[in-house]
Amino acid sequence: MGIASLFMPSLMGIVADKWINAERLYGLLHLLGAGMLFIVPMINSPQALFWVMLLNMGFYMPTISLSITVAYSALKNEGADVVKDYPPIRVWGTIGFIVAMWIISLLHLEKSASQFYVAGVSAVLLGLYSFTLPRCPPTDLHHDSLIEALSLRSFALLKNYNMAVFFLYAMALRSSLQLTNAYGDTFLHSFAKVAAYRDLLTVRYPNIVLSISRMSETVFILTIPFFLKRFGIKTVMLISMVAWILRFGLFAYGNPAGLLWMIILSNLVYGMAFDFFDISGSLFVEDQADTKIRAGAQVLFMMMTNGFGAVLGSSLSGLLIDHYFTHSDGRLIWHGIWLSFAAYSLVIAVLFAILFCYRHLHGTAAQPFDTANAVSNP
C-alpha cells in the first residue's frame, strides 16, 4: 500500500487534472482493482501474492484522492460549503467500512482468502456506480511550462513553511494510523492463545470489536465543521495527536476481560484520532490549493500520508518490534509495543505544537495560500 501510494496517486492525479474525467478514472481503477482481488485466492506463492497485491494497491490507492476530488467538485458546483457539507457525506464511507468488517467477522473470513471475493464484488459494484457520479472534467487543459505540463504546481505548497511542516507531520501521524491498522487485529487475536480469554466474544470476533473505532468515526466526522471553524487546523491536529496517545496507551493496559473497558475506550478515541487528522487534513489542503491543482494537492497529501507515512510506519515499527519487543519463542510484548507507539505520538504532538505557526481566524476553515505566486517566484 505504501509503495503504491508513492507514485500511483501522482500519476493518476495528472491524468485527472488533464485528460480524463475524475469520476470515470475513479470507476475504471476500481474495476481494474477488482480483477486483481479475484485473482488473490488462486495464488499459492508469497512472491506472486506480493506482486498481485501491489498491482491491486496501485489501482486502489489513487481512488482515495480521486473520490475526494469528485466530491469537492460536485459540492462546489452546487454552491455548497465543503467544510460543512462534506463530512455528512463522507460518514457513509465509514458506515460501509463497518458493514464490511461485520460481514467478514461474522462469516469468520478474517483468515480466509474468501474475503477477497467479497472485496472484489464490492469493487465491481462501486466501479460501475462511479460512472453515474457528477461530472468532474479536467481543469488544467492548457499549460505553458514544464511545471504545469507535469502537474507539479501542487508541490509549490511545500515552499510555504507552515504547509511544509503540516505535510511532514501529516506523514508522521499517518505512521500512527499504519501502526494501529497493522497490529490492532493481531493484538486482539493474540488473546486467543491465553486460556482465560480464548472463548470470549471479544477474542472470537475481533473485527466487531475494532468496528467500534469506525462507529466512533461516524460521530466525530460530523463534528469536524464545528472544530475546524471554531479552533482551526492546528488545534484540530493536536487533538488528533492526543487521541493517538490515548489510543495506544489504553491498548497497552487493556485486556478482553476485566479491563475490556480500556480496549473499548481505545476504539472510541480512534474516531477522533483518525477523523481530525485525515479528513480535516484533506479539507485544509483543499482550502490551500487553487482549482487548477485540486487533484494534485490531494495527491500530495496522499503521497505524504499513505505513501511515505505508511512505508515508514510499517518498516520502522517492524524493525523496532523485532529487535526489542519479541520473545525468543516469537511472542510479542504487546505492553511495550503500545507504550512505545504512545511515546512516539507524544513526541510528534509536542514538536507540532512548537513548529506549526498557524494563525486561525475564528469562523473560517483556513486562510488560503497563493500557490500560483509561489511557482512564479521560486
Domain annotation covers residue 205: yes
- Mean pLDDT in residue range 347-357: 90
| Res 378: pLDDT | 35
The CATH number that applies at residue 122 is 1.20.1250.20
Q: Cell numbers of 282, please?
A: 484533506
CB 43 within 8 A of CB 17: no
**Residue 77 lies inside a defined structural domain of this protein:** yes
The residue segments making up the domain with residue 326 are 2-137+148-376
pLDDT in tens, 162-188: 888 888 888 888 887 777 777 887 888
Asked if the model's pLDDT at residue 50 lies above 50, the reply is yes
Task: Give residue 108's pLDDT.
Answer: 81
CA 231 from centroid of its chain's CA atoms: 23
pLDDT over 70 percentage in the chain: 88
Once rounded to an integer, what is the mean pLDDT over residues 19-41? Answer: 92
Cα(104)–Cα(92) distance, rounded to whole angstroms? 18
- In the predicted model, what is the mean pLDDT of residues 54-83? 87
Whole-angstrom CA distances from 109 to 98, 100, 116, 207, 352 are: 15, 11, 9, 10, 40
If one counts every other C-beta atom within 10 angstroms of the C-beta of residue 214, the result is: 22
- Does the structure show a pLDDT above 70 at 261? yes
- What confidence category does residue 364 fall into, taking pLDDT thresholds of 50, 70 and 90? low
Total structural domains within the chain: 1
Closest CA relative to residue 289, chosen from 34, 12, 17, 7 = 17
Look at residue 143 and tell me if it is in a domain. Answer: no
Report whether pLDDT(102) > 50.
yes
Instruction: Quote the pLDDT of residue 140.
Output: 61
Which phi and psi angles does 326 have, rounded to 5°? Answer: -130, 125
Greater model confidence, 376 or 332: 332
Say what the pLDDT of residue 372 is.
Answer: 42
Question: Is residue 354 assigned to a domain?
Answer: yes
Tell me the pLDDT band of 373, cut-offs 50, 70 and 90: very low
Q: Among residues 356, 2, 18, 312, which one has the least CA distance to residue 154?
A: 18
Sequential DSSP letters for 160-175: SHHHHHHHHHHHHHHH
| DSSP label at residue 21 | -
CA atoms within 13 A on the CB side of 371: 25
In a domain, 127, yes or no: yes
pLDDT above 70 for 19: yes
Q: Tell me, yes or no, whether 142 lies in a domain.
A: no
Write the pLDDT tens digit of every residue in 277-334.
888 888 888 777 666 666 667 777 878 887 888 888 888 888 888 888 898 888 889 9
Q: Is residue 290 part of a domain?
A: yes
For the four alpha carbons of 179, 180, 181 and 186, in that order, the dihedral sign comes to positive
The pLDDT score that the predictor gives to residue 57 is 92
Q: Which three cell numbers stand for residue 122?
A: 464490492
CA–CA gap between residue 162 and residue 165 (Å, rounded): 5
Is the pLDDT score of 377 beyond 80?
no
- The secondary structure of residue 304, as a DSSP letter, is I
Residue 247 binned pLDDT confidence (cut-offs 50, 70, 90): very high
Identity at 147, one-letter amino acid code: I
Query: Confidence class of residue 229 from pLDDT cuts 50, 70 and 90?
Result: confident
pLDDT of the residue at 210: 82
Q: Between vectors from CA 218 to CA 253 and to CA 188, what angle results, nearest 5°?
A: 30
The span from the CA of 133 to the CA of 127, in Å, is: 11
Q: pLDDT value at position 318? A: 84
| Beta strand extents in the chain (DSSP E only) | none
Residue 250 lies in a domain: yes
310 neighbors 179 (Cβ within 8 angstroms): no
Q: Which pLDDT score is estimated for 317?
A: 84
Is the pLDDT score of 353 beyond 80? yes
Query: What is the model's pLDDT at position 362?
Result: 57
Distance CA 62, CA 4 (A): 9
